[in-house]
Amino acid sequence: MANIKEKKTNQKYDPIRAAAVESLLLIDAGDQTDTAIARVVGNRRLRPIDRRFILQLVNGTTKMRRRLDHEIKFYLAKPSMQLSEKLTTILRLGFYQLHFTDRIPAAAAVSESVNLATQMIDRSRGNLVNAVMRASLREPNRIKFVDKQEHPVRHLADFYSFPIYFVQYAVGEFGIEQAEKMLKTFNAPPQVTYRVNFLKAKPDEVANILQKNGVEFSYGKYLPEFIHIEESGLPLQHELIDTGKVFVQDESAGLAVRLLNPRPNSSVIDLTSAPGGKATYAAIRMRNKGRVTAIDKSHQRLKLVQENAQRLGIKIISPVACDMMQFTGGQYNRVMLDPPCSGWGTAGKNSDLRWSKTEEDITNLAHIQTNMIDRAAKMVKPGGVLVYSTCTIIRQENDQVIEEFLLQNKEFEIDSALPYFDKELVSERGFVKTYPGFDTMDGSFCARLKRKLR
């Protein structure tokens, strides 16, 4: 982010920061981050730098909400005092600028926060914001956290800004040290990955274009046609993305398609397909020969599949608007199921996820996933393959769904991922698992299940 120079205008507060406040209030009311920003920004003609600034402020403040609330209370006259939702939001945004960005001058962060509170609430609240933020600059050592050794879950939750239940799960699953590494990774600025479209370009060709334009990158560790961009944003969007030479997709999402191993002239069905990342990758691996049936119950989201396929030059995807639970299109040799999940592998890219998903949601999703894999299994021909994948790291949605399915469906067996990936990526049961902080990818899970021949 370039230095933000404060403009002298007739406005009494910065409209960009005001838009961030409005977006944050919508997120707290239940909107997803992208939806909230779109609703606030609308058709305003904003400079690219202003759009990036709003995204930085909203995503960062949303991610660090718990940590910000923890710090703010140390500078209130009464730590337990109740603040209005709007005042709380302005303070969170102000503290985020002061303590979690390095290119916004402290004076600007304070003065603009005071202006927001004064104009959006009243002068007395502006004075309170001024006093609280200046005190945090004068006395940063007021902030205390519980001891990490005595209360590791509470410490990590407060320090890295995550809900208690998720930190508890992470510590239990990985231990304190590895859990902390993962939480830290989730809070790092998200980076994008470009999947090279073999129908229009080769990895080396895309790499040369990136090098000529000074864009740093690295090749995917497991799938070399995936290129990790080492900077924020979507560099060379017009030259690479709009022309269909690359598609934005995390390498972890590609692992499921590699595990499915679709071949040219084969027939594949992708259930809950939109926006088409896996379907288009399967079609490309099939060299645009064969057929990929893309199922999704949303007509609107299926349009994204069609648009993405057209841009990539793919001609073998057949979209079908239908709830997969009611689909009656016969059986296939290759079936992909990517059911709705908690998304806990993508918390670094989805800032509101950590506050919108609950333990109850995970339990409910596991029931849905169980029903969906049972239905998907009926679409697999004898001798065929079903790949189940998610973008979460929660066992209840991954391993447990598969193990319960196998207990109830004796005609299926695990087809280990070891022939397709290095053993470091494959669990003892033959599943593929990735974790932020352990790999340069989002967290994910996929299992290859084979239907026995009768």
What span, in angstroms and rounded, lies between the C-alpha atoms of 249 and 260? 17
CA dihedral 132, 134, 138, 142 (to 10 degrees): 20
Give the three-class secondary structure for 50: helix
pLDDT tens for residues 416-426? 999 999 999 99
Mean pLDDT of 25-49: 92
Please indicate, yes or no, if residue 5 is contained in any of the structural domains. Answer: no
Model confidence at 11: pLDDT above 80: no
pLDDT at 7: 41
Residue 8 placed within a domain: no
Residues 317 and 407 reside in one and the same domain? yes
- The SS3 call for residue 242 is coil
Q: Which two tokens stand for residue 343?
A: 């998304």
Asked if residue 454 has pLDDT above 90, the reply is: no
Shared-domain flag, residues 319 and 435? yes
Number of structural domains (the chain) is 4
Check whether residue 110 and residue 181 sit in a common domain: no
Q: What is the pLDDT of residues 115-168, one digit of tens each?
A: 999 999 999 999 999 999 999 999 999 999 999 999 999 999 999 999 999 999
Looking at residue 184, its pLDDT comes to: 97
Domain co-membership, 354 together with 401: yes
Last residue of a domain, one of 248, 264, 282: 248
The answer, yes or no, to whether residue 409 has pLDDT greater than 60, is yes
Q: Please indicate, yes or no, whether residues 311 and 419 belong to a single structural domain of this protein.
A: yes
Residues 171 and 234 in one domain: no
The share of the chain scoring above pLDDT 70, in percent, equals 98
Asked whether the predicted pLDDT for residue 381 surpasses 70, the reply is yes
Same domain membership, residue 53 and residue 167 = no
Residue whose pair of structure tokens reads 């849905």 in the numeric block: 368
Task: Assess whether 182 and 202 both reside in one domain.
Answer: no
Whether 268 contacts 236, CB under 8 Å = no
Residues 320 and 369 grouped into a single domain: yes
Q: Amino acid letter at 233?
A: G
| Residue 236 covered by a domain | yes
CA–CA separation, 316 and 311 (whole Å): 13
Is the predicted pLDDT of residue 304 greater than 80, yes or no? yes
Give the distance from CA 180 to its chain's centroid. 19
Instruction: Check whether residue 95 and residue 138 sit in a common domain.
Output: yes
What average pLDDT does the segment 432-442 reach? 92
Q: Tell me what pLDDT residue 3 has.
A: 38
Please indicate, yes or no, whether residues 230 and 346 belong to a single structural domain of this protein: no
Q: Which domain holds residue 129?
A: 15-142
pLDDT band at 78; cut points 50, 70, 90: confident
- pLDDT, one tens digit per residue, over 218-258 is 999 999 999 999 988 899 999 999 999 999 999 999 999 99
6 found inside a domain: no
Q: What percent of the chain has pLDDT over 90?
A: 91
Highest mean pLDDT among 4-18, 40-54, 78-92, 306-320 belongs to 306-320
Q: Do residue 305 and residue 414 come from a single domain? A: yes
pLDDT, average across residues 86-90: 97
For 295-303, which contacts have Cβ atoms below 8 Å and span 24 or more sequence positions?
295/269, 295/270, 295/271, 295/320, 295/322, 295/324, 295/327, 296/272, 296/320, 296/321, 296/322, 297/272, 297/321, 297/322, 297/323, 297/324, 298/274, 301/274, 301/275, 302/273, 302/274
- List strand residue ranges (DSSP E) for 364-443, in order: 380-390, 412-414, 432-434
Copy the structure tokens of residue 217: 């990158």
Give the pLDDT of residue 440. Answer: 83
For residue 10, the model assigns a pLDDT of 47
Helix (H) or strand (E) holding 249: none
Contact 156, 143 (CB under 8 A): no
Mean residue pLDDT of the chain comes to: 94
Mean pLDDT within 348-376: 97
User: Nearest Cα to 293, choosing from 256, 311, 320?
Assistant: 320
